[in-house]
Structure 1
Amino acid sequence: MWKQSTSPHPKTQWHSRLPDIVVPYIQLMRLDRPNGYWYFWYPHALGTIWAAIQQRSSPQDLLLVNLILFWGVLVMRGATCTWNDTVDVDFDRKVSRCRNRPLARGAISIMQANVFTAAQTLASLATLALLPPLCTIYVAPAVIGWFCYPLAKRITYYPQVVLGFPMAWGVYVGAASMGMDPLYFAPLLRALMALVRRESAETPGLSLILEALKEVRVNWPITALYAANMIWTLLYELVYSHQDAAEDAAAGVKNLVLLYAKPDAATPQERFGTMPLLRRLAVIQVLFLATAGTLGGLGFAYSAVSLAGTAAALATMLSRVRLEEPESCAWWFKVGNSKYAGTAMVVGLAAEYVGRAFL
């Protein structure tokens, strides 16, 4: 059978020194587990650097925008995790790794969690006031996607795919934060603003929106970068989901791992049939990164670090991860994948920017 994952006691970490009333909220935001934050921030950082390269933006502008996004993403991650725990509270009580979460153990109420989710969402969206107005249009699809993710676990075996959409969407949000319009949403923003101000009363609202949507076009280079991040999300979430495979099956949680796994098989290789899929996803991710670099006219730094570095990191980690061991899957998610593959993507693109800006 599968090994089951375990969860540490809720007050065995640094926040044990804080007042009891504060601890549940820190845990809901996952401030006690900051590694997951990088998965939210990396796509945004990639989008900002990409736009800075294409637009020849100044280092000061690039740094300022990333500082703003740092706060916005930090709080939005907290809102997303809080909402996920709220929706999944009954599931979490049946999974050993999750049953010590604040809602599952009864530390706070559903109402308190909902208020906290709303407060965090508003705090995150407040950063839009410091960014170009166009960012509002780009943020909306991501917020909707994060809202839908925990619900997807109930209706489809592909919740990781649903999560990949808003996680990778940060590439577009990051680019828009630098003043770039990667999907040509400006006409849509103008149409919405006209409706709000009632400047086009003679034109039906739906017609105005539909006309604006006709102006939307795909920027293929940055969309390839978006696709690479979407595949990356699917890859690391798939590995992460192996931790709870046995208990997810018993609790009724739908999970892509369960479509490939056979818990009663004799060997680990038979038990987990996902490794071939993981390898294919890694190859596809690297191909999308290569496509982005080629279409975007990027050079040696990107190819050597973002492309080759990511490929090497993924190949090494896939050869070392043990899908039947929750501790190995946890290391992949918390340390290995973000520290090596994620850093390689960002550092390579940043080196490309530095080379063009200063050399």
Structure 2
Amino acid sequence: MAQLEKNHATVVDLAPLSHSNYKPSVKSIFSIIPASWAPYARLWRLDSPAGYNAIFLPYPIGLGLGACIAKPAPSPTLLLFLLSVFSLGSVFLRGAGCTWNDIIDQDIDRKVKRTRNRPIARGVVSTKQALVFLAATTVLGSSLLALLPTGAAVHAIPTTVLSAIYPFAKRVTYYPQFVLGLALGWGVLMAAVAAGGDLRNRIEFGAIIILFSAVVLWTMTCDMIYAHQDAEEDAKVGVKSMAVRFAEDTKLLALVLSFAQVGLLVFLGWFIEMDAIYYAATCGGTAVSLASMIILVDLRQPNNCAVWFYRGLVYVGLSMASGFFATYFVGGRYFR
């Protein structure tokens, strides 16, 4: 923390590139779509799947848990339908979330090298245009809630509120990753209930809360590593994060959070009497994936932080979901 905050008073105001001299990579999606669409595609982060994974993956994890605890167990057809709804919904939620974040953070984005060329910071999308785009993506995403059971759809409300708070959290606390974890982790509750989980049942409610807590810790760990891309500049411009707060102690904290996450998953397995395949896939796979990320990520290299943020999301997310679905199909939960 001390090393990053020593330079807090030194702020470099970077001038964003103008629309005319900003050239996207020829390999980028922005080079193959109409030029007028490019700023909105960039606002949507269509060239970067990592953020989409952060939003989407809690849903299949929650569906997997719901499939294992619901009585009666949901059919594979229903699970596939729900997975499709959440997959498409995550596309629109990503657009809305990124747009809101960029509207709130535009003044900060202009001072950080990695973000200064975002469309709003660069001036190619006005705040008014961004608000219209935000409304459109929010409406499109919200329309899909009609396809979910009412008991599941209402959980979109806390997710939306927490997501709206997140950009402001970076200004007042060193733990905005916790707010983000709550926002994304709530997808576990929504998906588990959609699959038939009953929050009125003590065991099912407990199982959902345990998994929700594990996903919150996972999100905090991954986003803390992601935040190291801009940690030094964030400290200078006054943006708070766990990366700024813990600096060189980040890996130690990530290890503690990961131990707690895996511990929760093991406890969950005991709590709902899961089979050995769950412990091998979900608990074992998650432990190996988290350990690999913590050991191999180079926090001094922004690009490497981005790579391991993506890998940490995908490897851990798939590991967590696979144990539930393997138990559902192979372990006989569907046939009980």
TM above 0.5: yes
Structural mapping, 1:179-218, within 5 Å? 179-182=196-199
Q: Does 1:28 align with 2:28?
A: no
Q: Does 1:65 align with 2:67?
A: no
Q: Which has the larger radius of gyration?
A: 1
Q: Does 1:18 align with 2:33?
A: yes
CA deviations on 1:250-300 (whole Å, 9 max, x unpaired) are 111111222223xxxxxxxxxx12221111011011011111111122111
Q: Does 1:232 align with 2:254?
A: no
Correspondence for 2:303: 327
C-alpha distance in 2 between matches for 1:20 and 1:181: 48
Correspondence for 2:322: 347
Pick from 296, 301, 304 the counterpart of residue 272 of structure 2.
296
C-alpha distance in 2 between matches for 1:139 and 1:152: 20
C-alpha distance in 1 between matches for 2:269 and 2:118: 41
Deviation of 1:245 after TM superposition, in Å, equals 0.7
- CA gap 1:10/1:124 in 2 versus in 1, 3 angstroms: farther
Q: Does the 8 A contact of 2:58 with 2:317 survive in 1?
A: no
Structural mapping, 1:274-313, within 5 Å? 274-313=250-289
The answer to which structure, 1 or 2, has the higher relative contact order (CA under 8 A, 6+ apart) is 2
TM-score, normalisation: structure 1: 0.83
Q: Does the 8 A contact of 1:323 with 1:329 survive in 2?
A: yes
CA deviations on 1:211-267 (whole Å, 9 max, x unpaired) are xxxxx9981112111100000000001011111011101111111222223xxxxxx
Structure 1 unaligned blocks of 5 or more: 185-215, 262-271
Deviation of 1:183 after TM superposition, in Å, equals 5.9
Deviation of 1:181 after TM superposition, in Å, equals 3.3
Q: Does 1:258 align with 2:234?
A: no
Q: Does 1:39 align with 2:54?
A: yes
Deviation of 1:14 after TM superposition, in Å, equals 2.1
The residue type paired with residue 250 of structure 1 is K
Q: Does the 8 A contact of 1:221 with 1:291 survive in 2?
A: no
Deviation of 1:20 after TM superposition, in Å, equals 1.4
Correspondence for 2:66: 51
Q: Does 1:87 align with 2:100?
A: no
RMSD: 2.2
Structure 2 unaligned blocks of 5 or more: 5-15
Q: Does the 8 A contact of 1:224 with 1:292 survive in 2?
A: yes
TM-score, normalisation: structure 2: 0.88
Name whichever of 174-183 and 293-302 sits farther off.
174-183
Q: Does 1:125 align with 2:180?
A: no
Deviation of 1:29 after TM superposition, in Å, equals 1.3
Q: Percent identity?
A: 38
C-alpha distance in 2 between matches for 1:183 and 1:171: 16
Correspondence for 1:74: 91
- CA gap 1:358/1:319 in 2 versus in 1, 3 angstroms: same
Q: Does 1:223 align with 2:209?
A: yes
C-alpha distance in 2 between matches for 1:29 and 1:339: 20
C-alpha distance in 2 between matches for 1:123 and 1:79: 10
Q: Does the 8 A contact of 1:175 with 1:182 survive in 2?
A: no
Count of residue correspondences: 314
Name whichever of 29-38 and 239-248 sits farther off.
29-38
Deviation of 1:338 after TM superposition, in Å, equals 2.2
Correspondence for 1:204: none
The residue type paired with residue 324 of structure 2 is L
Q: Does the 8 A contact of 1:138 with 1:176 survive in 2?
A: no
